[in-house]
Structure 1
Amino acid sequence: MAKSSTHGVRYIGLATIDDSGALLKGQSGLSDNGIYIIDGKGEGTITANITGLEQAGTPVYANNQVKLIQHGKQQPQVALTVLNMNNDVLNKIKGYVSDGKGGYVLSSGDKPNVALLLCSEDVDGTLIYEGFSHGEVTETGRNHGTDNNNLTRADATLTFQALEPLKADIFMDDKGVQQPYKVWADDEPGFDLNLMYKEVFGGFSDVQSLRIPKKFKTTTVTQTSASPTSVTAQ
């Protein structure tokens, strides 16, 4: 059974979806199959800090005592620091548009709908997945500093703000209410990598085409090559 303590970031996957919640692919999306794994030579995720999973309760008094505690809705955010992310993908998820001459500006239209999946692991190697099927990405600033005898890095710092799912039948709680955040452990009975990707990424159904970093331990896929690996459904 999965443990509560996790370590590291295995990878983060991203996709853009349309206003119906369907995955965008090709020129409209982030890759030919629609999914972009932040991984590659010199590329990856440095930090991914999730906040807003619950709101602090508000005590409600009656008869001179606290009778109940009210809780607000989830408002998750993910603060990301990424290393050498593909710039075209970065511009797409932020909503920057090309002028056709090498320049990009932030569109005054609606922000792109972005889905995000984060993979980490517990101390026993069980993979933990945290998913958001709909949200928006912002980059509020950039910090630059002079180089000296060392390089002064300016890695991209992004904020992903989760929204309610666009599809009507996903991320449901036991009361039939949709939530913006869902967590999986790959040792749970019934876990299915393919179904998870389908739910998070707007119906995505081509897990075999993904390039997943390092060895991959799940109940539904097997490692087929050295890092980064292709994954195949059993």
Structure 2
Amino acid sequence: MRPLSTLDRRTLLKALSLAPIAATVPALLQARVAQSGLISTDVCLLQAEVTEGPFYIEPPLLRADITEGKSGLPMQLRLQVVTADCTPIAGARVDVWHCDALGVYSGVKNLGGGADTEGQTFLRGTQLTDFAGVVQFETIFPGWYPGRTTHLHYKVFLDVKTVLTSQIFFDETLNDEIYAEHPAYARPTARSVKNVDDGIAADAGQGAYARVRMTEPDGAMEAALVVGVTPEGESSGVLDWLWKKA
């Protein structure tokens, strides 16, 4: 993780001080999470399948750092893949992708406003879960684009079968403060769609909201989510490049 600047730290501290997430987690639930070795308080909820959304591509990007120099608030994204009874799934493939601070995706031709990112791969990557079912990506907090609230996309694969396609969301107070405080997210127009207005966020439910905290001792931003899956389930699409290469 690259060192946080004074601006990054100030932005994160203010955003976390205003976001109500940590205060709403009961102590008993926090204890259960710690005892079970889980990384978040959504506690093995089976995540809802939602639309893949824009611009999934399949480059073989087996990597943890997906920033490629993009500006924004540095963020460690940690996902833990488990079954409904909280059993970690090792060796699952997790793909993530999201837009940059200004709402632009990589790998897309003829984006609106004249942008063309065809052949670029920023803010995309793949990891395999470790023995605890965890993957970690080094990225930035996502920006936004018209028509959607703040979100990240991900897919989970077991063997060569997609078992879940979903999205991750963030507390709205956190979104507002980061966008207001960090210049990388400065835009000439304000966001028109927030969590409460976003139909995909509603379909995903409260279990799709990441737990966000500041890590110690580096003071970095960490966003974590426990992703409960049904191993015998199946999403749309089959990709097998990773196992062919292995």
> What's the TM-score once normalised by structure 1's chain length?
0.28
> What's the TM-score once normalised by structure 2's chain length?
0.27
Greater strand percent: which structure? 1
